[in-house]
Amino acid sequence: MGYFPFFVELEGKEGLIVGGGRIAAHKIEKIKPFGAKLTVVAPYLAEDIKTDPILDCKERPFLDADVDGKCFVIAATDDEKLNAHISALCQGKNILVNVVDDQEKCGFIFPSLVKEGKFCAGISTEGASPMTAAYFRSRLAAALPEKTEEILDGLLAFREPVKREIPDGRVRAAVLKEAALFCLDKGRPLTKEEMQERLRAAAGKQEKKKTGSVALVGAGCGAYDAITVKGLNTLRRAEVLIYDDLIDERLLSHVSESCEQIYVGKRSGRHSFRQEEINDLLVQKAREGKRVVRLKGGDPFVFGRGSEEMTALREAKIPVTEISGTTSAIVAPAGAGIPVTHRGLARSFHVITGHTAGTEDGLPEDIENLAALHGTLVFLMGIGNLAAIADKLIAAGKSGGTPAAVVRQNTDGSTQAVRGNLHNIAQKVKEAGIETPAVIVIGETAGLQLFDEQKEKIERNKQKIKTGHYSKK
């Protein structure tokens, strides 16, 4: 099915409901607030339908000619053959038709509606689970402020003076957005005094162009919902979004339609932007007066070069903040049941880059010292150097039998893990086909598997259900 959620103007449009019982009455009540001219046809009409003054009621059997000139038709009878006939008739005349409880014969379907004044939201599962749609409808309805209708009426009244008095489109959009967020946060409409105050403030902004700001936001590791609440709220307010490769693209749906989105992803051997270019871009967009969000996978300050970007921004006197995200150094191993510390096994853990540009062989410096550490060694961005890292640690005195694991945390929340020891982990990873990005864990805790098989299966199924990829396999 390919149902697109159009919002269609129904004011004055002619519609036909075939059926006069409870289900027909339910559909009528859904449509009435939108101003359509409704004709109802059925051999028997319920009293509340028959006595409704805005309906054109015809208490008789359906005639094919009844559909002529109609914008839409709803078949709500208990006669399957008649419903099928109406569906075929309408489709042959290119008239939108809905057959209650028979999706295959529908040209349009009814969403689960939330309507409060000018606020209207439609939720649909394309017939897969009406109860799921109803669940989210109730959640959304409960989240609306009590004065939603008043808030929207007030914001509508505010739009005209804003459009008239603020010619700068960027400033105008910012004023309207901030006003909406204020009203939703306070749960009330703007007062006249607050409207005037905001107009005066906006006029001042036009005269004095301000410098924008940059927020370095960590999207977290793996799953779409790993981002913090603070990070998500900041993302929603972005006027420019500059984002990396290692994020779940579903996060992009949270930015406004007017937000400028710029992809600057970097992977081994494939860089769309050099780091210096990214730094310059952040400065440039902030100097345009924009609210910029730099969205990075994991945590910006854990091998994310966030500190370099912050330094460049501070040197340019750009206001900058950092919003941490969950780092793969901890989250990825935990997803495989591997703690980075454990009483009696590891009292510390060490996060190390798996490749270093400043060394001759590209391996971490002082690897001999790393081999002598008793804590857990966590290498990031090191899959390409895994065999060399293992060999050097063994040569430096680390036992070849030391437990080792490689873990990949996918954006759908699933985890791939390969376990072994320093002697064989590189070969096992090659055979398993695990690709970057993945985390290397070396030490006694890498031998732990705190999740049992049943729990892992349950967690995998939960993720599949959340992402719509569930199967019985």
Q: pLDDT digit string (tens) for 420-447?
A: 999 999 999 999 998 888 999 999 999 9
Note the pLDDT tens digit of each residue in 13-28.
999 999 999 999 999 9
Tokens of 50: 């028959």
Q: For 213-326, CATH number?
A: 3.40.1010.10
- Cα 53 to Cα 29, 40, 49, 61: the distances in Å are 13, 12, 9, 21
- β-pairing, 72-75 vs 376-380, is unpaired
**470 pLDDT more than 60:** no
- Could you give the angle at which helices 386-395 and 425-432 cross, rounded to 10 degrees? 170
CATH 3.30.950.10 is held by the domain 329-456:
yes
3-state secondary structure of 267: strand
Percentage of residues of the chain with pLDDT beyond 70: 91
- Cα 303 to Cα 288, 360, 405, 415: the distances in Å are 28, 20, 20, 21
- List of E strands, 145-290: 213-218, 240-243, 260-263, 266-267, 270-271
Listed by start position, the domains of the chain span 14-110, 148-207, 213-326, 329-456
- Burial of residue 75 (number of CB atoms within 10 Å: 0-12, 13-18, 19+): buried
Tokens of 186: 């306070």
pLDDT value for 464: 54
Query: Looking at residue 352, what DSSP letter applies?
Result: E
Backbone angles phi, psi at 383, to 5 degrees: -60, -40
Cα–Cα distance, 290 to 295 (Å, whole number): 15
- Cα 339 to Cα 162, 225, 260, 375: the distances in Å are 55, 21, 40, 12
Backbone angles phi, psi at 242, to 5 degrees: -115, 110
pLDDT value for 391: 93
Note the pLDDT tens digit of each residue in 135-152.
998 998 888 888 999 999
Nearby residues of 88 by Cβ (< 8 Å), 6 or more positions away: none
Torsion of CA 59, 63, 67, 72, to 10 degrees: 50
Scanning 65-129, the segments in alpha helix (DSSP H) are: 80-92
Residue whose token pair is 């409880």: 101
Q: Which of 331, 324, 335, 393 is closest to 364 using CA atoms? A: 393
CA 338 to chain centre: 28
CA angle, residues 157, 160, 162, in degrees to nearest 5: 105
pLDDT value for 468: 54
Sign of the Cα pseudo-torsion (351, 354, 356, 357, in order): negative
Query: Looking at residue 444, what DSSP letter applies?
Result: G
pLDDT value for 461: 54
Cα–Cα distance, 352 to 404 (Å, whole number): 15
Nearby residues of 347 by Cβ (< 8 Å), 6 or more positions away: 341, 374, 375
- Whole-number average pLDDT of the chain: 87
**450 pLDDT more than 90:** no
Q: Which amino acid is at 198?
A: R
CB burial readout 90-109, b (16+ within 10 A) else e: beeeebbbbbbeeeebbbee
**Catalytic sites, residue numbers:** 244, 266
Residue 168's CB is within 10 A of a number of other CB atoms, namely 15
Cα–Cα distance, 428 to 432 (Å, whole number): 6
> For the chain, first and last CA: distance in Å?
25
Note the pLDDT tens digit of each residue in 387-421.
999 999 999 999 999 999 999 987 666 788 999 99
Find the mean pLDDT for residues 169-197: 89
Tokens of 168: 């700068």
Q: Are residues 240 and 293 in contact, defined by beta-carbon separation less than 8 angstroms?
A: yes
3-state secondary structure of 456: helix
pLDDT confidence tier of residue 206, bands split at 50, 70 and 90: low
pLDDT value for 407: 94
pLDDT value for 472: 41
List residues bridging with 247 in a β-sheet: none
Q: Are residues 72 and 16 in contact, defined by beta-carbon separation less than 8 angstroms?
A: yes
pLDDT value for 40: 97
Cα–Cα distance, 470 to 464 (Å, whole number): 4
pLDDT value for 208: 52
- List of E strands, 78-130: 96-99, 112-116, 119-123
pLDDT value for 337: 92
Note the pLDDT tens digit of each residue in 80-132.
999 999 999 999 999 999 999 888 899 998 888 888 888 888 888 887 888 89
- Could you give the angle at which helices 148-165 and 169-186 cross, rounded to 10 degrees? 160
List residues bridging with 243 in a β-sheet: 263, 295
- Fold (CATH) for 14-110: Rossmann fold (3.40.50)
Tokens of 344: 């009696």
